[in-house]
Structure formats: C-alpha cells, structure tokens
Amino acid sequence: MIPLSVDEIASLVGGKVFGDGSVTVSAPAVIDGREARPGGLFVAFAGEHTDGHAYAPQAAEAGAVAVLGSRPTALPTVVVDDAQEALQRLAAHVITMLRDRLTVVAITGSQGKTSTKDMMEAVLSSAAPTVATSGSFNNELGVPLTMLRTEATTRFLVLEMGARHIGDIADLTALVAPDIAVVTNVGRAHLGEFGSREAIATAKSELVRGLAVGGSAVLHADDPRVLAMGDLTAGPVLAFGAGERASVRVGDLALDRLGRPSFTLQHEPPPERGGKVVVTLPLVGAHWALNAAAAAAAGLAAGVALEQAAAALSTTSISKWRMELRTLSNGAMLLDDSYNANPESTKAGLDALASIEAGRRIAVLGEMLELGETSRDAHHEIGTYAATKADLVVTVGGAAADIADGAGRRAVALSDNAAAIEWLRTHLAPGDAVLLKASRGARLDQVAAALL
C-alpha cells in the first residue's frame, strides 16, 4: 500500500479521526487481525455475532498501526458509518493515484478462474512486479483488499472477480475499470442462484462491459456465450481456445503418464511478440492447456512475449486444493481437487484421473452445491460419467446419493468424511490413484489431510 496518514485516509473516506492522525499506514489492509503486518491497517466490521473492533489489540500486536471501523479503538481509528464502503473508496483512490503506470487485469468465469488467475500472475510477474488476488478472495471485500496491496513499484494488478448475482461484477468494475478483461467460460456453477446459464452469461459479461476505454477483452473462443461478449466492447478482442476461432490456439496436446500436458500455443497471425511455442505444465489434466492459453493471451494483451509466457507457465504453481498430486505413504497417489465443484469442473477432474497411469482409479465425490432445480439430474449425470472414468466411484454423504445411482455397480456409498477416511485407509493399495472432488461445503480437504 502506498503510505498514507490516518488523517489522509479519513479525508479520502469521509471519516472522523480518533487518536493520532499523523500516524502513517504503509502496509496492506486486513480484516483478520492475525494477518496484520507492521505499519498495516486493520478494517473492523461489527457483525451480528462478532465485533471486529474487539480484535484491534490482536491486530496491533501483529503490527497494525491504525483501524478503519465504525467506533473508536485503542489504535488511531478512522470512524465511518459503513466500513465496507469506506474500504472500497480508499482502494479506488489508491488505484487512481497509481493508474498511469499500472495495468489492471481482471478475470471471471464459472470455473477455472482462480487457477487461471494464478497462471496469469506467473506470466505477468515474469515481466514486472505484480500483485494478484490471494486464493479465491474475489468479492466486495477481497477485491479492494487486493487493490490496497499495490505499491508504487507495482506494474500489474490481477483481480479475480466473482459473482452470485447480476450486478456483482459491475459493482467491482466500478471500483476499478480493468485494462484487460478475461472470461474463461459460462458453466453451471451457482446455477441455483442465477436461475439460467443465460443469466450467468449476463453476469460474467459485466466484466467486458466494465472495461476501461480502449481496454482488451480476452475471451474463450470455444464457448459461444463467452465469445459473443466481444460484441460488447469497441476495444481489441483476443480469443483463446482449441478451435478455429481462437487467435491464441492450443495444439498438439499430449499427456505424460501422470496426466501432465504438453502442447503448443500459437498466436495467429504471428505478431512481433511470438508466433508458436511449446508449453509443458507441471499440473495434472488436459484442461490446464486452455487455462494456460488464457493466461498467455492476457500476457500478450499486456505486452508479454509468448516465449516468456511459456517459460513462466512451465514452473507455475496453483492455489491449494486444486489438482494437487501427492504420493501417499502406502504408494497410492492422491489427486486433491477438493476446493470446489460443479458439473464441468468435476468432469475435468475425472478426465484428469483417467489420464493417470494407475493400478485402480478411484473417484471420491461429494455434493455439488448451488445447482438449483437441476441438482438431482446433474449429480446423476456426474455419476454416470464417473463410471466411465474410474474403476470405483466412492460417494460421500447423503446429498451425493444421486451420484451413486448414476455410477451403478461401480459405486460405493459412504455416510460422511469419517467413513470415507476409514474406507480409503483400508482399501487403497500401492499404485492406486484417488481423486477427491466436491463443493467446498463437503470439506473433502479433511479427507486429504487425514490421508497425508
């Protein structure tokens, strides 16, 4: 964060200072006192069950020097009526101060956006100092907090933007209009919230509508709903994918024995920044090739050469619980993709499992949340698909019963995570490969932690 005094922060957000207003905030803002850094700002929210102001001493002990909240604390405090609105106003102002030397890249999509964001961070940071969203902190708090991590030396800001309602992304682009907007796909994630894929497409298109003047859209050429968003901007459009409409195109895709992809990326027509490169990823699953193409396309839009992007992608690392391949003490392989799930991402995970050379392939699947009226059919569909990719389909929890029904004779239905841990400890053999996949609420990461 660029240094600002408490008095300056109060002036920017329309707040009142209690305490020493000359104190300078020089480190990022946080909403968890344990994460405060020396010189940082602690943003306190008074919730229904917990009052964040009570944690100001904890934040001070960690190094925070000031608080932004709705009542005074022992630290110098900027008191406002609405801490969230004040946080957003502060973030927007900081970016305005840095805008002439900062390129803002924003990404959204139904699945793969966090992993693609991680890849974009790798590509852009190979060229210049880059700040990116941590994990999937992509909402009305996560976006401004990420914005406030920028410094005078930052040249790229990568923002993941999520949505549960139409208008959510428009609100985020109102804080900062991106120079580059990346849309990965329109799938069935949060279908229960939106009601239809058309509504999901409308929500995702807000990122393209929110582009800065002259900004570039990076769109998935193989997804018609995404590619159509190119009509919403007068700026440049760079399409990625595997089909003929892609200007950054994946080709010659091959997988090694652990399902790790190698492929070519070709930019057509060949520009000064490179025409065709070979990429090898340290990640499991063919679907990573499209994510890499999106990241490389964003890099091209930001001025990063294709060859440089390929080199950065070859060593990229991804946020936890996303296709993490580990070898267990008994010689089995664990593919932990337990962070979240929807029908499209679950099929990608099953494809990845099937690509691994293994004695047996075991898919451990839990509930996919927020699918609305389509939930039962979607779970049955996944069970049927899983039976074509795995030797055994282990379902966890009663909500996953329709997966078991779809998997038929290959299904093993278990009651909860404890039962899944016990079953896996008993039945996994050396050379087996096991996939863990479910929505966040199923907490299959607990199963992974017990096996490691």
Burial class (CB in 10 A: 0-12, 13-18, 19+), 446: middle
Give 289's contacts (C-beta < 8 A, 6+ positions apart).
Answer: 242, 250, 253, 261, 263, 279, 281
Q: What does DSSP say about strands 216-220 and 103-108: parallel, antiparallel, or unpaired?
A: unpaired
What is the phi-psi region of residue 270: left when phi exceeds 0, alpha when psi lies from -120 to 50, beta otherwise? beta
pLDDT at res. 274: 56
Q: DSSP secondary structure string, 317-385?
A: ---TTSSEEEE-TTS-EEEE--S---HHHHHHHHHHHHTB--S-EEEEE-PPPS-GGGHHHHHHHHHHH
Domains of the chain: 4-81 (3.40.1390.10), 99-314 (3.40.1190.10), 324-451 (3.90.190.20)
pLDDT at res. 427: 97
Q: Is 69 annotated as a binding residue?
A: no
Shortest CA distance to 15 belongs to which of 56, 67, 93, 57?
67
pLDDT at res. 270: 60
pLDDT at res. 95: 98
Q: Is 117 annotated as a binding residue?
A: no
pTM of the full predicted structure?
Answer: 0.92
Q: Is 110 annotated as a binding residue?
A: yes
What residue type is 352 in one-letter code? A
Q: Encode burial over 246-256: b for 16+ CB neighbours within 10 A, e otherwise.
A: bbbbbeeeebe
Burial class (CB in 10 A: 0-12, 13-18, 19+), 231: exposed
pLDDT at res. 136: 87
Q: What does DSSP say about strands 324-327 and 333-336: parallel, antiparallel, or unpaired?
A: antiparallel
Q: Is 109 annotated as a binding residue?
A: yes
How does pLDDT run across 63-96, given as a tens digit for each residue?
999 999 999 999 999 999 999 999 999 999 999 9
pLDDT at res. 219: 98
Q: Is 195 annotated as a binding residue?
A: no
Shortest CA distance to 69 belongs to which of 53, 48, 93?
53
pLDDT at res. 30: 97
pLDDT at res. 191: 78
Q: Is 314 annotated as a binding residue?
A: no
Spans of the chain below 50 pLDDT? none
Q: Is 235 annotated as a binding residue?
A: no
pLDDT at res. 272: 57
